[in-house]
Chains A and B, each alone.
Chain A
């Protein structure tokens, strides 16, 4: 179960609009709120194009046990720095929180080995969600399965699995 922490970058799913605020599910006990002005270049006239069911990558502005968590998609200087709506294609899946932290460590071996397979885009949310997009559906599926299996595999087994995939 994910507990929202201030400053954490997470992937959320938009579940509804309430006035000028989006309700986003982040996998915690409560849904987070995301104001439509919290995007780069958003003004009252120029609203971001967010639909129900879209994926959002943002960080928590407010996250404590007394209040509903609040998310934003801009950083303190008003830039988006990679946050915002995640593109339409690609696949979202869930892994354990420990694996995410391992993947986010600098010079993570898993990511380096995977990047040698084929090019892909990867977004890691601290709430256990990962979004992957590769050129072909098959490639995306392979990456998804390897990442999910990384939880229980040792480094040796992972190298073997990757060798099998790249050898194919």
Chain B
């Protein structure tokens, strides 16, 4: 699907609003949206919601041989995917540019900062190391994917527990979670990305841009920092010129934000830990809010019925009399009856030969179906009788069996009595015409 284009009107409005320091959702320039962290049942699975942007992170591990140039270090593998459910513009063929940018940022933020201790992932030097794989899926795109993804990534890594391993000489034993409690990864620090959107050549600055704001921004600055105020990664895209003090100001803001977010993460991890220990329920099912109206409901509206009687009487008096009602059906033979008279055939003149054999049939009477139900079995017998008299001609068409009938005692304006008989006569006239055409060729 194609994404909805941004109209000029929206763009202008957003820029004007930003000039007046107003954001669409009422935030201030340096405000973050609400961050919600929830954990799944497995260790290492978490969902981070930054406003409406949602990212799912999952960590898994595997024992593999190490890389040749680093025999004593474990392997880290990061992967971010933009699911098509995140935004209408994302297709399975993907947005390659955005995806590559995000993937690179996540890698630099988490790998190059050495937040995870890879030496501790080594089991047998040169033979077996742990490969930690972090998968991030974007579930909903409402701006600022990078922040949500970095938070989800680091939280999942902190939450993850790998199986315990013991090495005795040459023997390596990997314990299952039942035998020994799984062990957390050793994480030195938690780098978190903070994004800044710039407008009008760096005059205006917004933290945590939403999707609309991202579409109108001039440039983006991403700073990854940990709570010790060490900058792990810094990236500026969009080609805007930034002055020194702007960048310094951004880094100061980042320090404040990162401290807040780190505190939030710690609290969330502790809560989850407590719940698991106490044996309470945990997992995504618990974190979904109950009793929330998710679609809108019409309240029952009172209907004013005071003047209904008068209105009804008015309508009845104004309406004309109903059309003529046929009281009594005319009985031709046992099992066939006729209700009402037909009107003149409006199909145009048929040729002489056709007229002899054609049974003209116009329209259908409403009571035909009713008659049909009652007298179906008897009618079949009636049709069969007439069949014996004339030769039966089967046409090449895929339509029902066609029977040519002679109009003997039946009056010209006969109403066909059964549905099957109707169809056969109607089709018969069609095929008659068709046969004539074929003869002409």
A-side residues, CB < 8 A to B, are 13, 15, 25, 27, 29, 51, 53-55, 86-92, 96, 98-99, 102, 131, 137-138, 140-141, 144-145, 150-152, 154-155
Asked if A138 and B5 sit within 8 Å, CB to CB, the answer is no
Asked if B26 and A141 sit within 8 Å, CB to CB, the answer is yes
B4: chain A residues at CB < 8 Å are: 13, 25, 27
25 pairs of residues in contact across A and B, judged by CB atoms under 8 Å = A13-B7, A15-B5, A51-B8, A53-B11, A54-B7, A54-B8, A87-B9, A88-B8, A89-B12, A89-B13, A92-B7, A92-B9, A96-B296, A98-B296, A137-B17, A137-B22, A141-B17, A141-B22, A141-B24, A145-B25, A150-B296, A151-B295, A151-B296, A152-B293, A155-B299
The answer, yes or no, to whether B294 is at the interface (CB within 8 Å) is yes
A91: chain B residues at CB < 8 Å are: 9-10, 13
Asked if B5 and A13 sit within 8 Å, CB to CB, the answer is yes
CB distance from A25 to the nearest CB of B (A): 6
Query: Contact check: which of A27, A88, A131, A150 meets B12 at CB < 8 Å?
Result: A88
B-side residues, CB < 8 A to A, are 1-2, 4-13, 16-17, 20, 22, 24-26, 293-296, 298-299
B299: chain A residues at CB < 8 Å are: 154-155
A99: chain B residues at CB < 8 Å are: 296
Give the docked Cα–Cα distance between A150 and B5 (Å): 25
Give the docked Cα–Cα distance between A25 and B293 (Å): 31
Asked if A152 and B7 sit within 8 Å, CB to CB, the answer is no
Q: A90-B13, A92-B9, A137-B22 are in contact. List 17 more A-B contacts (CB 8 A).
A: A13-B4, A13-B7, A25-B4, A51-B8, A54-B7, A54-B9, A86-B9, A88-B12, A89-B9, A91-B9, A92-B7, A92-B10, A102-B296, A131-B9, A141-B22, A152-B293, A154-B299
A88: chain B residues at CB < 8 Å are: 8-9, 12
Give the docked Cα–Cα distance between A51 and B12 (Å): 14
A92: chain B residues at CB < 8 Å are: 7, 9-10
Query: Contact check: which of A54, A89, A102, A137 meets B298 at CB < 8 Å?
Result: A102
Give the docked Cα–Cα distance between A150 and B297 (Å): 11
A27: chain B residues at CB < 8 Å are: 4
Query: Contact check: which of A53, A137, A145 meets B8 at CB < 8 Å?
Result: A53
Give the docked Cα–Cα distance between A86 and B8 (Å): 11
A53: chain B residues at CB < 8 Å are: 5-9, 11
A131: chain B residues at CB < 8 Å are: 9
CB distance from A16 to the nearest CB of B (A): 9
B295: chain A residues at CB < 8 Å are: 96, 98, 151
B22: chain A residues at CB < 8 Å are: 137-138, 141
Closest partner residue, chain B, to A56 (CB atom):
B7
Asked if B5 and A25 sit within 8 Å, CB to CB, the answer is yes
CB distance from A57 to the nearest CB of B (A): 12
Please name the 5 residue pairs, one residue from A and one from B, whose CB atoms are nearest each other, closest first.
Answer: A53-B8, A151-B296, A91-B13, A13-B7, A137-B17
B24: chain A residues at CB < 8 Å are: 141, 144
Give the docked Cα–Cα distance between A87 and B9 (Å): 8
Asked if B5 and A55 sit within 8 Å, CB to CB, the answer is no
CB distance from B23 to the nearest CB of A (A): 8
CB distance from B4 to the nearest CB of A (A): 6
Asked if B17 and A90 sit within 8 Å, CB to CB, the answer is no
Closest partner residue, chain A, to B298 (CB atom):
A102
Using known A-B contacts A137-B20, A141-B26, determine if residue A152 contacts B296 with beta carbons closer than 8 Å: yes
Closest partner residue, chain B, to A13 (CB atom):
B7
A145: chain B residues at CB < 8 Å are: 25-26
Give the docked Cα–Cα distance between A128 and B296 (Å): 14
CB distance from A88 to the nearest CB of B (A): 6
B5: chain A residues at CB < 8 Å are: 13, 15, 25, 53
Give the docked Cα–Cα distance between A144 and B14 (Å): 13
Give the docked Cα–Cα distance between A82 and B299 (Å): 32
Closest partner residue, chain B, to A138 (CB atom):
B22
Which has the most chain A C-beta neighbours within 10 Å: B1, B6, B7, B9? B7
Closest partner residue, chain B, to A94 (CB atom):
B4
B12: chain A residues at CB < 8 Å are: 88-89
CB distance from B251 to the nearest CB of A (A): 30
B25: chain A residues at CB < 8 Å are: 145
Give the docked Cα–Cα distance between A151 and B11 (Å): 25
B7: chain A residues at CB < 8 Å are: 13, 53-55, 92
Give the docked Cα–Cα distance between A57 and B162 (Å): 59
Asked if B8 and A140 sit within 8 Å, CB to CB, the answer is no
Give the docked Cα–Cα distance between A88 and B9 (Å): 6
A13: chain B residues at CB < 8 Å are: 4-5, 7
Give the docked Cα–Cα distance between A90 and B10 (Å): 8
Give the docked Cα–Cα distance between A150 and B296 (Å): 8
Give the docked Cα–Cα distance between A86 and B10 (Å): 12
A54: chain B residues at CB < 8 Å are: 7-9
B294: chain A residues at CB < 8 Å are: 152
Give the docked Cα–Cα distance between A74 and B6 (Å): 25
A102: chain B residues at CB < 8 Å are: 296, 298
Give the docked Cα–Cα distance between A155 and B299 (Å): 9
Which has the most chain A C-beta neighbours within 10 Å: B1, B4, B13, B25? B13
Asked if A137 and B296 sit within 8 Å, CB to CB, the answer is no
B1: chain A residues at CB < 8 Å are: 29
Asked if A55 and B17 sit within 8 Å, CB to CB, the answer is no
Asked if A90 and B9 sit within 8 Å, CB to CB, the answer is yes
B17: chain A residues at CB < 8 Å are: 137, 141
Give the docked Cα–Cα distance between A141 and B1 (Å): 29
Closest partner residue, chain B, to A27 (CB atom):
B4
Give the docked Cα–Cα distance between A137 and B26 (Å): 12
